[in-house]
């Protein structure tokens, strides 16, 4: 049953998928509670422009995508606090604009670029050593920072005004959080693709919320569901010969339905 682990590409895929699944699930708890799902989706779509810039300039597309995603995330957050426009309006401007920029740059590229398709829909089986090291390193950094500032983010999530009164620099922590979110979203695009990465962040956290009675339980369940979605999805895609990214999301969706059905019993 586990003969697939003998293949190096499956080993890399399993490690990358596990780290990204756990990281997405962990940060997804704060995304859900702070109602930032649309924000995560906007950052994911901005990745197309960052990836296109990488191909156009001859640089590693994942590096340029992370940098571009962070810039877009910071700009949205800055305008949210400075502009008279609502945050969903600001996101509604940046999301299609960054996508359009990506499409325009792709049009300038010479020749067919099959890798671009894998970034749109994900191809975890094509993970190389560079991406493995990049995703694992960034994923661990994100998890460490979230763990270090866990109590502060929990405080900010439930009562921003009270957190500010207690001397917490809410604005600074907000900027750090969106940088962590942008980093998580972008590195996850190689696993499930630009189109589906927001689901890997939202669904495990939403599933855990269905059956959790407190914040700690929600975090633990979300991490478990994120891990299970990545591992079971990858294994299922291998044995059933299905698209890996879509299979991971379908497994995550199935977990959500199960928790939704069992909520009356498990949430007590």
Residue 15 binned pLDDT confidence (cut-offs 50, 70, 90): confident
Q: How much of the chain exceeds pLDDT 70, in percent?
A: 94
pLDDT at 115: 67
Q: What is the DSSP letter of 58?
A: T
Distance (Å, whole) CA 190 – CA 184:
11
Residue 208 binned pLDDT confidence (cut-offs 50, 70, 90): very high
| Reported pTM | 0.85
pLDDT at 3: 67
Integer Rg of the chain from CA: 18
Instruction: Please name the residues in contact with 180: beta carbons below 8 A apart, sequence gap of 6 or more.
Output: 27, 142, 145, 146
Q: What is the mean pLDDT of residues 12-35?
A: 88
Domains of the chain listed by start with CATH number? 7-194 (1.10.3470.10)
Both ends of the chain: CA-CA distance in Å?
A: 37
- Are 168 and 151 in contact, with CB atoms under 8 Å apart? no
Distance (Å, whole) CA 17 – CA 124:
7
pLDDT at 4: 64
Counting beta carbons within 10 angstroms of the beta carbon of residue 79, is it exposed (0 to 12), middle (13 to 18) or buried (19 or more)?
A: middle
Q: What is the mean pLDDT of residues 207-235?
A: 90
Distance (Å, whole) CA 268 – CA 211:
8
CA angle 243, 247, 252 (to 5 degrees): 160
Q: What is the mean pLDDT of residues 109-132?
A: 72
What stretches of the chain show up as alpha helix (H) in DSSP? 8-33, 37-57, 61-82, 87-108, 114-121, 129-148, 150-158, 160-165, 170-192, 197-211, 215-240, 244-266
Distance (Å, whole) CA 253 – CA 258:
9
Distance (Å, whole) CA 136 – CA 91:
29
pLDDT at 206: 93
pLDDT at 226: 92
| Averaged confidence pLDDT in the chain | 84
Distance (Å, whole) CA 122 – CA 188:
9
pLDDT at 267: 57
pLDDT at 126: 73
Q: What is the mean pLDDT of residues 74-94?
A: 83
pLDDT higher than 90, residue 185: no
- Are 201 and 36 in contact, with CB atoms under 8 Å apart? no
């Amino acid at each position: 049953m586990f003969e697939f682990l003998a293949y190096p590409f499956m080993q890399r895929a399993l490690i990358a998928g596990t780290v990204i699944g756990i990281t997405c699930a962990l940060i997804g708890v704060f995304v859900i509670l702070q109602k930032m799902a649309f924000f995560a989706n906007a950052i994911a779509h901005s990745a197309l422009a960052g990836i296109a810039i990488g191909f156009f300039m001859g640089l590693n597309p994942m590096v340029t995508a992370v940098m571009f995603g962070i810039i877009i995330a910071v700009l949205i957050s800055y305008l949210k606090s400075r502009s008279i426009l609502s945050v969903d309006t600001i996101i509604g401007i940046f999301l299609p604009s960054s996508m359009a920029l990506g499409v325009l740059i792709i049009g300038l590229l010479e020749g067919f670029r099959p890798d671009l398709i894998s970034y749109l829909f994900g191809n975890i089986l094509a993970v190389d050593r560079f991406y493995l090291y990049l995703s694992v390193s960034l994923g661990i950094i994100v998890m460490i920072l979230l763990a270090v500032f866990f109590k502060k983010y929990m405080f900010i999530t439930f009562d921003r005004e009270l957190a500010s009164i207690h001397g917490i620099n809410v604005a600074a922590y907000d900027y750090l959080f969106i940088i962590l979110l942008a980093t998580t979203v972008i590195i996850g695009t190689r696993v499930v693709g630009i189109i589906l990465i927001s689901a890997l962040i939202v669904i495990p956290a939403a599933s855990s919320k269905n059956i959790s009675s407190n914040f700690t339980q929600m975090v633990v369940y979300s991490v478990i569901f994120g891990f299970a979605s990545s591992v079971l999805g990858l294994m299922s895609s291998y044995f059933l010969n299905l698209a890996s990214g879509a299979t991971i999301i379908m497994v995550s969706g199935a977990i959500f339905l199960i928790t939704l059905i069992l909520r009356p019993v498990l949430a007590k």
